[in-house]
Structure 1
Amino acid sequence: MQRGPTGDYTVTALGGEQVRAFVPWPLPPQPPLVLDDALQAQLERATLAVGRLDSIGMLVPDPGLLLYAYVRREAVVSSQIEGTQSSLSQLLMFEADEAPGVPLDDVLEVSNYVVALEHGLSRLAGGFPLCNRLLREVHERLLASGRGADKEPGVFRRSQNWIGGTRPGNARCVPPPPQQVEPCLAALERYLNADVRTQPALIQAALAHVQFETIHPFLDGNGRVGRLLIVLLLHARGLLAQPLLYLSLFFKQHRALYYERLGAIREHGDWESWLAFFLEGVELTAHGAVDTTRRLLRLFEQDTALIRAGGARRTATLLAVYDVLRHRPVIALGPLAESAGVSFPTAAKAIEQLMALGLVEELTGGRRNRLFAYRRYLDILNEDMEPL
C-alpha cells in the first residue's frame, strides 16, 4: 500500500552541508496495515514454521546444546554483515583462549555479540521488560571492547549520523537529529509494551525492527542491536521458548532487497512489501533451522552409535568426552578433561580414539596448547557462513 512518506524531514547541518534528516512517525502505521489474502496466508505459514521450530527445540533433551551453537552462529553472521571476517571456528577458538591468526578486533566483536544476546535473554527471563534501558545494556556489552569501544557504548547518540554513502550529502538515509532520538525511542518503547494482543508477534517484530533501524540511535552497532531486537521481542512475546530463530543470514543473502524494502517504507509507506519480505525470511529461516536441528540430532545419534560399536574398553569414558564436544565443539584438553570428569591422560587417550574414528581433528598443528574440534558438527553449522 502506498501511503506516502512515513515521517517528517528536518533540515540539519552535517559535515559542512545541509541535509534532510528523517524523523519517523510513531508506530503503528497509519492508515493501518492491509493484510490481503496473500499476506495473511504468508503470516500463517511463517507462524506455523516458527511453531514447528519451537516444538523441535522443546523436544531436544538438552536445549542448551542447540542454543549454544545457534547463538554463536548468529553472532558470526550478524557481525559479518557489518564487515567482520571471523568464522564460527575462529570464534570458538577465541573462546577456548587460543586464536592463532584471527584478527583480534573481528573476533572480539563477534564474542561481544554473544555476551550481548545472552545478557538480553537473561534479563527477559528475570522479568525485565523489553525497553530502551535493556537496549542500552545490550549495546553496552556489544561494544564493550574491540572496534566501536570508543563509540559511547550504552549511550544514545548526541551527534548526527548517516547511513550509507561516502558523506552526509549522498547518504542512503540520514536518521533523526540527536535531539529527536529519545522522543522517537520513547514512542517505540510504548509500542513494544502496548496491549498488542490483537497484533501478531511477527508483525510487531517486523515493524519494530524497521523503526529502530530508522531511528539509528547509537553511533555504532545499530544493525546488530536491531537484529537482536527481533530475537528478544519474539522471545518476550512467547513465540519461541528457546530463541533459535535468527534472520541475519536471510538479511545477509538478500541485502539489496532488504535496503530497498526499508527505503520504500520511508518514501512511500509501503509496509506491506516489507512484511512480505520479512515473513518470507521468517518462514525460510525457521524451516532451515528445523532442518539443521534434525541433521544435528541425526549426527549425534550416528556418532554415538559409532562410538558404541567401536568396542573400546572404556566406552563410557569415550561417551563422556564426546558429550562435552557436543556442547563445546572446539576445546582444549584441560577444559575437556575437567568437564568430562576424567584425568588429563584419560582425556588425551579418549581424544586419540575419537580422532581414529574420524570424529575429531586437531586444529593448531602444535604439540602444546592444542585445540580439538568436532569437525562434522562444525561443518553443518558453517554452511552459508562465508564472509561478505
Structure 2
Amino acid sequence: MHRGITGFYTPTIAGGIACQAFVPAPLPPQPALDISGKLQTRLNEALIALGRLDAISTLLPDAKLFLYSYVRKEAVMSSQIEGTQSSLSDLMLYEMEGVPGVPMDDVQEVSCYVNALTLGVQRIREGHPISFRLLTEVHQALMTSGRGTQRGPGEFRRNQVWIGGHRADEASFVPPPANHIADCWAALEQFINDVPEQTAPVLKAALAHVQFETIHPFIDGNGRIGRLLIPLILVEAGVLKEPLLYLSVFFKRHRDTYYRLLQQVRTDGDWEAWLLFFVDAIAATANQAVATAQALNQLLAQDKLRLAALGRLSGSATQILDALFAHPIANIGALVTATGLTPATIGKALDALQLELGIVHELTGQKRNRVYAYRAYIDILNQETQ
C-alpha cells in the first residue's frame, strides 16, 4: 500500500552543508497495515518456521551448545556488514586468547557484539522492558573496545549525520536532527511496549527495525543495534526462548533490496512490501538454523561412530569431541577444564583425532600453546555465509 511519505522533512546542517533531514511519524502506520493475501500466507509460513526454531531444543541434546556458536556467527555477519573482516574462527581464536588473522580492532568489535546481545537478553529475562535505559546499556557494551570507544558509547548522538554520499546534500538518506531524537525514540519505545495498543510480535519487530534505522540515534553502531532489536523483541514476547533468529546473513545477501525497501517505507509508506521481505527473511533464516542444527547433530553422531577405531583412546576422544561440540575451537587447557582429563591424555587423543581420523585440525602450527578446531563443525556453520 502506498500511503505517501511517512514523516516530514526539516532543514538542517550536516558537515557544514545545508540539507533536508527526515523525521518519521510515530508507529503504527496509518492507514493500518493490510495483512491479507500473499502477505498473510507468507507471514503464516514465517510463524511456522519460528515455531520449529523455538523447538530446536528437541533437535539437540543441549540447545545452549548450538547457541554459543550460532550467536558468534551472527556477530561475525552483522559486523561484516559494517566493514570488519573477522571470521568465526578469528573470533573463537581471540576468545581463546589466540592471535586472529585480522586486525585486533575487527575481532574486538565482533566480541563486543556477542557481549551486547548477551546483556540485552539478560536484562529482558530480569524483567526490564526494551527502553532507553536498556538500549543505551546494550550500545555501551557494543562500543566498549576497538574503534567504538571514540564513538559515543551509550549516548544518543548530538550532531547531524547522513548516510551515503560524500556530502550531506547528496546523501541517500539524512536521519532526524539530534533535537528530534528523544521524541522519536520515546514514540518508538511506547510502540515496542504496546502503548497504546498491542502489536503482534513479528509485525512489531519488523516495524520497529525500520523505525530504529530511520531514527539512527547513535553516532555509530545503529545497524548492529537495529538488527539486535529483532531477536530481543521476539525473546521479550516469548516467541523465542533463546535469541536464535539472526537476519544478518539474509540482509547481507539481499543488501540492495533491503536498503531500497527501507527508503520505500519512508518515501511511499509501503510497509507491506517491507513486511513481505521481512517475513521471507524470517522463514528462510529460521529454516536454515533448524537445518544447521540437524546437520551438526548428525555430524557429531557420525564422528562418534568413527572413534571406535582409536581403541583405548576412544573414551577420552569421545569426551574431547563432546567438549569441541560445545566450543569448536579450544586449546588443551580449555579441554582439561571441560573434560577433567590430564593434558597428556588430551594431547594423545588430539593427535589421534587429527592424524588418524582428520576430525580436528591444529590452527597455530606451533609446538606450544596449540589451538585445535573441530573443522567440519565450523564449515557447517559457515555454509550459508559464503
TM-score range, shorter chain: over 0.9
Secondary structure, counterpart of 2:291 in structure 1: helix
Matches of 1:227 and 1:196, distance apart in 2 = 25
- CA RMSD, aligned part only? 1.3
What is aligned with 2:60? 60
Secondary structure, counterpart of 2:383 in structure 1: coil
Contact 2:190 2:196 in 1 (8 A): no
**1:148 Cα offset (Å):** 2.0
What is aligned with 2:283? 283
Matches of 1:212 and 1:357, distance apart in 2 = 49
Q: Letter of the aligned partner of 1:379 in structure 2?
A: D
Matches of 2:315 and 2:125, distance apart in 1 = 35
Matches of 2:154 and 2:259, distance apart in 1 = 26
What is aligned with 1:342? 341
Q: Letter of the aligned partner of 1:91 in structure 2?
A: L
Equivalent residues in 2 for 1:223-262 (5 A)?
A: 223-262=223-262
Matches of 1:197 and 1:203, distance apart in 2 = 13
**1:253 Cα offset (Å):** 0.2
**1:203 Cα offset (Å):** 0.7
Does 1:358 find its partner at 2:358? yes
Cα 1:59–1:190 shift into 2, 3 Å = same
What is aligned with 1:47? 47
Q: Deviations over 1:175-215 (max 9, x none)?
A: 11101101110111100111698532111100000000000
Contact 2:310 2:352 in 1 (8 A): no
Q: Letter of the aligned partner of 1:181 in structure 2?
A: I
Q: Deviations over 1:105-136 (max 9, x none)?
A: 11111111011111111111111111121111
Q: Letter of the aligned partner of 2:301 in structure 1?
A: E
Secondary structure, counterpart of 1:312 in structure 2: helix
Contact 2:91 2:100 in 1 (8 A): no
Contact 2:100 2:107 in 1 (8 A): no
Does 1:318 find its partner at 2:317? yes
Matches of 1:274 and 1:354, distance apart in 2 = 48
Does 1:382 find its partner at 2:382? yes
Contact 2:60 2:293 in 1 (8 A): no
TM-score by length of 1: 0.97
Contact 1:124 1:130 in 2 (8 A): yes
**1:172 Cα offset (Å):** 1.0
**1:295 Cα offset (Å):** 0.5
Give unpaired runs (5+ residues) of structure 1.
none
What is aligned with 1:213? 213
What is aligned with 1:274? 274
Contact 1:57 1:242 in 2 (8 A): no
**1:149 Cα offset (Å):** 1.3
Q: Letter of the aligned partner of 1:261 in structure 2?
A: L
Q: Letter of the aligned partner of 1:26 in structure 2?
A: P
Secondary structure, counterpart of 1:372 in structure 2: strand
Instruction: Give the count of matched residue pairs.
Output: 385
**1:384 Cα offset (Å):** 3.4
Equivalent residues in 2 for 1:88-237 (5 A)?
A: 88-194=88-194, 199-237=199-237
Matches of 1:105 and 1:41, distance apart in 2 = 44
Does 1:328 find its partner at 2:308? no
Cα 1:311–1:348 shift into 2, 3 Å = closer
Matches of 1:205 and 1:302, distance apart in 2 = 38
Contact 1:321 1:337 in 2 (8 A): no
Percent of residue pairs bearing the same amino acid type = 51
Of stretches 20-29 and 95-104 in structure 1, the one that deviates more from structure 2 is 95-104
**1:323 Cα offset (Å):** 1.1
Secondary structure, counterpart of 1:384 in structure 2: helix
**1:58 Cα offset (Å):** 4.5
Matches of 2:118 and 2:197, distance apart in 1 = 26
**1:254 Cα offset (Å):** 0.4
Q: Letter of the aligned partner of 2:346 in structure 1?
A: A
Matches of 1:18 and 1:311, distance apart in 2 = 72
Contact 1:332 1:371 in 2 (8 A): yes
Matches of 1:196 and 1:368, distance apart in 2 = 61
Secondary structure, counterpart of 1:135 in structure 2: helix
What is aligned with 1:13? 13
**1:56 Cα offset (Å):** 2.3
Q: Deviations over 1:368-388 (max 9, x none)?
A: 1111000100110112334xx
Matches of 2:197 and 2:43, distance apart in 1 = 16
TM-score by length of 2: 0.97
Matches of 1:56 and 1:329, distance apart in 2 = 19
Q: Deviations over 1:89-113 (max 9, x none)?
A: 1111111111243211111111110
**1:316 Cα offset (Å):** 2.6
Q: Deviations over 1:230-279 (max 9, x none)?
A: 01001111111121111000000000000000010110000000000101
Give unpaired runs (5+ residues) of structure 2.
none
Matches of 1:100 and 1:46, distance apart in 2 = 37
